Structure 1
């Protein structure tokens, strides 16, 4: 693979990872506090609707795109180790992929449990745990994107 194609792949990984990270942190800082201030049953119903829409939205391009491009970056830059640009790219790819793992291990199971509630209760406990996981995936996404971008300029 040429250096130009690798640079393009790293740039695409940085873009999708930063986009996903921005959505996560926007959710933590704006959406979840607004839901926390609403009546519990309303918050549960709204979050469940958001979760149904999320998997059908254009956000999935950034979410899945980040995971796939980060995996691809990790594969193509590994032979260039220990060059500094390859180290930054590999670190960024790993952080971007960690956000995907946090989603699968923390946020999706919590979403599924919330969807299974029949009485519209449990939002406070859900929100606290979900927001922690969401903050982690947002932070690692943005740090990953920054590391990917750094790999293009060192």
Structure 2
């Protein structure tokens, strides 16, 4: 039974971490550059729609599941695994937690402010609303992307045989 747990949990952590990293990386590589080409009102409407749509069970599974699986993997390796794998899985966990903290400290408050600004058609100065949202959100999303990809690398290296 323990062999199965050691086989499944670390692989699950790597897969969920890959999905976690891919989500943020897709925003950095495609979503936000695409929205940067849109007018102020269109960008605001699209981002408000994205912020609503992303709050779904699959997103929750990935966003919560990746750090939880990384924590489980780290605990497994701490109890009876190779020290090398413990270090790499621990690093993955720390990096995932950095991405979660950035999300809650920087990106979510900007998303909330965008929502509170209201529908783009009713804004008196959509350019100002966009300027308050976009540059910081994008910059910190790049940070989330980089640390998430680094977490993925760590999670995969933890799987490699000693």
Q: TM-score, normalised to structure 2's length?
A: 0.84
| Structure 1 residue ranges (4+ consecutive) displaced by more than 4 angstroms after TM superposition | none
- Corresponding residue for residue 33 of structure 1: 33
Task: Give 3-state SS (helix, strand or coil) of 2:30's partner.
Answer: helix
* Runs of 5+ consecutive residues of structure 2 not aligned to the other structure: none
Verify: 1:141 aligned to 2:133, yes or no. Answer: no
Q: CA RMSD in A?
A: 2.0
Q: CA deviation at 1:7?
A: 3.5
**Matches for 1:55-70 after TM superposition, within 5 Å:** 55-56=55-56, 58-70=58-70
Report the structure number with the largest CA radius of gyration. Answer: 2
Q: TM-score, normalised to structure 1's length?
A: 0.88
Deviations 1:49-91 (A, max 9, x none): 1000000252332112112212222333334587112111111
CA distance in 2, matches of 1:27, 1:148: 22
| Count of matched residue positions in the alignment of Structure 1 and Structure 2 | 154
Change (3 A) 1:19 1:89: same
CA distance in 2, matches of 1:97, 1:73: 14
* Runs of 5+ consecutive residues of structure 1 not aligned to the other structure: none
Change (3 A) 1:61 1:139: same
**Matches for 1:18-57 after TM superposition, within 5 Å:** 18-56=18-56
Contact 1:71 1:97 survives alignment (8 Å): no
- Corresponding residue for residue 8 of structure 2: 8
CA distance in 1, matches of 2:74, 2:109: 27
